[in-house]
């Protein structure tokens, strides 16, 4: 509405050749009237002339050629704010000084881009010129300090920490030049031998030079070998023509000796069989059994479906809880106050069912410190969420 009022005011001022303060109330009122009302109050010729002039003004505004009077800027123009000037950062990088990217940028490599298989030297190899930490600090139980079973090592003092860092090039034996540096002790001074003994004794202590990191708030070694990361695999390793890794070379099918008809029939036979050359019979069973052989060797029942000792008196006391569980859980072992069950329900309810079973056992008047639900190799519900089918351990 303000925009229309401004344009119309300019139109009336130019048409009548007087200043905006001389516009009458009747003329301003007519600005807010519809086209039909304007046609009733003005002559047809005036209405046509006004529309033509208004159309011309709007066209000039759209093209940016319109010249406004001074009073228009005072009344209607918004204050111009130079946003770029306010956000101008003198430390920002000018993109025009960066040059243009081309194919030559791909020819160079960064320091962490190396491929030992192509003859590149591994920058992670420790420099034998310096001595590094050999024994990582451990706690009273023999576990490495700050070791986390999930995130791994976290102690900044590790095998890459340098014990005897290089001295300044001014005083280092390999780089110093006595001719341009004023000697601390002149030749023949008795302090020379004493100072050499002190330096050798200090290095023999093998003390790691550390400082307090202001962000980590802990001791960090001042000198350590830089880690460049593992080499990035740019492609997959070469494989033999025999794609699988299970069939022995002497047992593979030689399709070159077969006729086209025989080769096609043999290929269909191998594709439809469950245990073909891709995975010989017994290979998968052997792999899964290797995961649980340790339980049998160590005599550990936790993690398997092997039944253990069950106290009949305790079982009789918790029989109401077993009746409630029904076929969803089968009692495997009672070890003091810990109970092991073979859980047959949905995996998504496993943790909640275990907590509920612990409550049921306590309601029977039996002390319970933990309930373990064993599911074997079943990690998901295949017919419920599309998981793998259940694989039964061979010694369960």
Query: According to the model, what pLDDT value does residue 44 have?
Result: 58
Nearest-angstrom CA–CA distance, 12 and 249: 99
Q: Directed axis angle between helix 2-16 and helix 44-63, to 10°?
A: 120
* Dihedral Cα 139, 143, 146, 152, nearest 10 deg: 170
Query: According to the model, what pLDDT value does residue 105 have?
Result: 73
Please give the radius of gyration of the chain, using alpha carbons only, rounded to the nearest integer: 43
- When mean pLDDT is compared across 94-98, 190-194, 258-262, 302-306, the lowest value belongs to 94-98
- Please write the tens of the pLDDT for every residue from 45-85: 667 788 888 888 888 888 878 877 777 666 555 554 444 45
In percent, the amount of the chain with pLDDT more than 90 equals 15
Backbone φ, ψ for residue 349 (5° rounding): -100, 5
pTM: 0.35
- Please write the tens of the pLDDT for every residue from 155-186: 888 888 988 887 777 777 777 777 777 777 77
Residue 165 in 3-state DSSP? coil
- Is pLDDT of 115 > 70? yes
- Is pLDDT of 323 > 90? yes
Query: How many other C-beta atoms lie within 10 A of the C-beta of residue 260?
Result: 8
Tokens of 186: 């002149």
Nearest-angstrom CA–CA distance, 182 and 87: 53
Query: According to the model, what pLDDT value does residue 77 have?
Result: 54
> Which residue ranges make up each domain of the chain?
2-75, 239-281, 288-385
- What is the average pLDDT value for the chain, to the nearest integer? 76
Please provide the distance, in angstroms rounded to a whole number, between the alpha carbons at the two ends of the chain.
Answer: 84
CATH class of the 288-385 domain in this structure: alpha beta
- Is pLDDT of 138 > 80? yes
């Amino acid at each position: 509405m303000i925009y229309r009022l401004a344009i119309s005011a300019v139109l009336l001022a130019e048409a009548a050749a007087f200043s905006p303060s001389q516009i009458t109330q009747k003329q301003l009122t007519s600005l807010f009237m519809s086209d039909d009302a304007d046609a009733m109050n003005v002559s047809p010729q005036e209405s046509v002339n006004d529309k033509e002039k208004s159309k011309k003004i709007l066209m000039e505004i759209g093209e940016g050629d319109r010249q406004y009077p001074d009073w228009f800027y005072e009344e209607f123009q918004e204050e111009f704010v130079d946003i770029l000037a306010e956000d101008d950062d003198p430390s920002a990088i000018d993109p025009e000084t960066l040059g243009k990217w081309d194919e030559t940028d791909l020819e160079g490599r960064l320091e962490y881009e190396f491929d030992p298989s192509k003859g590149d030297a591994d920058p992670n190899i420790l420099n034998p010129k310096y001595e590094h930490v050999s024994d990582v600090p451990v706690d009273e139980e023999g576990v490495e300090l700050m070791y986390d079973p999930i995130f791994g090592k976290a102690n900044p003092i590790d095998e890459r920490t340098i014990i005897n860092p290089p001295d300044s090039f001014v005083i280092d034996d390999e780089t110093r030049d006595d001719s341009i540096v004023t000697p601390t002790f002149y030749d023949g001074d008795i302090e020379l031998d004493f100072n050499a003994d002190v330096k050798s004794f200090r290095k023999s202590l093998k003390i790691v030079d550390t400082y307090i990191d202001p962000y980590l708030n802990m001791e960090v070694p001042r000198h350590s070998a830089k880690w460049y990361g593992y080499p990035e695999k740019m492609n997959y390793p070469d494989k033999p023509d025999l794609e699988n890794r299970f069939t022995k070379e002497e047992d593979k099918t030689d399709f070159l000796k077969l006729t086209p008809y025989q080769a096609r029939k043999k290929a269909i036979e191998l594709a439809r069989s469950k245990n073909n050359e891709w995975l010989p019979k017994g290979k998968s069973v052997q792999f899964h059994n290797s995961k649980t052989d340790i339980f049998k060797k160590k005599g550990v029942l936790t993690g398997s479906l092997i039944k253990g000792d069950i106290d009949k008196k305790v079982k009789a006391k918790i029989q109401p809880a077993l009746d409630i569980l029904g076929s969803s859980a089968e009692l495997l072992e009672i070890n003091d106050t810990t109970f092991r069950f073979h859980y047959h329900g949905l995996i998504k309810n496993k943790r909640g069912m275990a907590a509920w079973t612990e409550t049921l056992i306590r309601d029977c008047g039996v002390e319970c410190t933990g309930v373990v639900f064993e599911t074997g190799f079943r990690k998901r519900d295949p017919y419920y969420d599309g998981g793998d089918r259940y694989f039964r351990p061979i010694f369960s």
